[in-house]
Structure 1
C-alpha cells in the first residue's frame, strides 16, 4: 500500500508507545508510516501539547488514533493535518465533559480495578489488574511486560472539561471492544453512537493493540484508504 498519510498512535493511561509495537510493525509492512506520540500523562494540557508537537513533527496528512484515555486527547488537537480519527476502545468526552465523566459512566465491570491516587496525585494500576482487566487476553509474558512498563496517570489529566472535540469535524472510526473490562462495551457503544462514528465491533479486550493487533491494523488501514 502506497500512501503519503502517516498513522499517529497515542497511548492510553498505564502504557507507553511500546503498547502499539505490533501495530506499528504491521503498518510498516504494508508501506504505511507509523509513529507513536509520547504522552507525559502529567496534565491534560501537557498531553495535548505533546501530541501537537508530534503532529507538527510529522507535517504531512495524518490518521490519528487513540487508545482508552488518549481518546480524550486526540479529540482536543486542532492540528490542521489530521484527516481522520480512530478510537480504539477509547474515551470520547463531548464539549464540557471531563474524561473522568465518561470513564465513570454506567456500571463498571466486576473485575475493573479500584483506583486511588497516591500521595503525589498519581493513579497506578494494581499489579493484578493487567491480567484481570487491562489485557486479560495477553500472554503472561505480555502482561508482565505491560505491568513493568506501566506509567501512572495524574488526576489532572482526567478532571478538565474539554472543548469542542475534533470528532465533530473529521471522519471518525471506533473499534468497540466487546470484552473490555476497563471501559465496558455499553459505554463504548454510547460514545461511538453520539460521535456518529463508523463502528467495528470485535470480541477483544481493552488492549487489542497487544492482544489482537491484526484487527486494529485493518481498521487503521481502512481509515487510511478512505481519506488518502
Structure 2
C-alpha cells in the first residue's frame, strides 16, 4: 500500500468512527419543540447526584436540565426547593419525581410553568391525602427496612440497603449509596397535600418491575389512578440511576406530547 493509500484509509476509518458515534448518539430535539426544560426531583435516602445519567442523556438531546436538592426535612421545604428551580426556568417545563419526589411534584406541579409530570417509581397522593395513605391495603416487600432514629429521621437499614434499594448495582456502588444516604424526616409521610397537580396536568410513569421499596400492585394502582401512561422496566428502586435511558426516553416523550400550560 502506498503512502497515499494508507492516508486515505486512515481518513476513511476516522470518518467511519465519527459516523458511528453520531449514529449511536441521542437524537437532538427539534428546533421548533417548545418544551425544552426539565426539572428533576430526587426522593428519600438519595440526592440529586443520582440523576447524572438522566441529566447527561437529556442534555445531549438539547434539553435544559435542572436538578433539585431536596432537604427532606418537610414537604413544604422540598416544595419550596422545587419551586425555586421552577421559577428559574425560561419556559414550559416537565417536572420529574422519583419515589418521595412523586409527592413533591404532585404538590409543586401546579406551578404555572409545569406542562407535564413524570413519576419514576413514585408516590402520587391526592389533595387532602397523606403520603402514608398510599400504602393502605398494600404489603411492602420485606427487603425494604427502615432505621428511624430518636430524632424522627429515617435511613434505609444498612444491612438491607442493597437488597431493598439497589440490588441491580455493583457491591461497591451500593456501599457508596448506602453510606451517602440523606435521611428523611418521617413526619413528611403524615403531611396532608393541598394540591394534586396530576388532576390538571398529563402524567407519565416509569415502574421498576423489581422495585422492593413499593409493592408492584401499589405502583400500578397509583399510576392507574392518576391516568399515567406507564412504561415498565426491569430495575430496582434505584431505576432513576440504573435505567437512565428508559427514564430519559419517557421524559422526552412527555416533553413532546404535553400541552403547553395556560398563560
Give the TM-score range, shorter chain: over 0.9
Unaligned 5+ runs, structure 2: 1-28
Counting matched residue pairs gives 227
Distance (whole Å) between structure 1 residues aligned to residue 168 and residue 174 of structure 2: 9
Distance (whole Å) between structure 2 residues aligned to residue 146 and residue 199 of structure 1: 27
- Is the alpha carbon distance of 1:105 and 1:57 closer, same or farther for their aligned partners in structure 2, counting shifts above 3 Å? farther
Is 2:40 the partner of 1:6? no
The answer to whether the 8 A contact 1:178-1:184 is kept is no
Q: Hey, what does 1:143 align to over in structure 2?
A: 174
Q: Hey, what does 2:3 align to over in structure 1?
A: none
Is 2:139 the partner of 1:107? yes
Instruction: Give CA deviations for 1:103-131 in whole Å, capped at 9, x if unaligned.
Output: 45401112121x24212110111113331
Distance (whole Å) between structure 2 residues aligned to residue 133 and residue 105 of structure 1: 20
RMSD (Å) for aligned C-alpha atoms: 1.5
Q: Hey, what does 2:81 align to over in structure 1?
A: 50
Distance (whole Å) between structure 1 residues aligned to residue 88 and residue 63 of structure 2: 17
Unaligned 5+ runs, structure 1: none
Q: Hey, what does 1:98 align to over in structure 2?
A: 130
Instruction: Give CA deviations for 1:17-43 in whole Å, capped at 9, x if unaligned.
Output: 011111101111111121111110001
Distance (whole Å) between structure 1 residues aligned to residue 68 and residue 97 of structure 2: 10
Structure with the larger RCO, 1 or 2 (CA within 8 Å, 6+ apart): 1
Indicate which of 107, 116, 124 corresponds to 1:84: 116
Is 2:66 the partner of 1:35? yes
Please identify which structure carries the higher helix content: 2
TM-score if structure 1 supplies the norm length? 0.94
| Misfit runs of 4+, over 3 Å | none
The answer to whether the 8 A contact 2:158-2:178 is kept is yes
Is 2:46 the partner of 1:15? yes
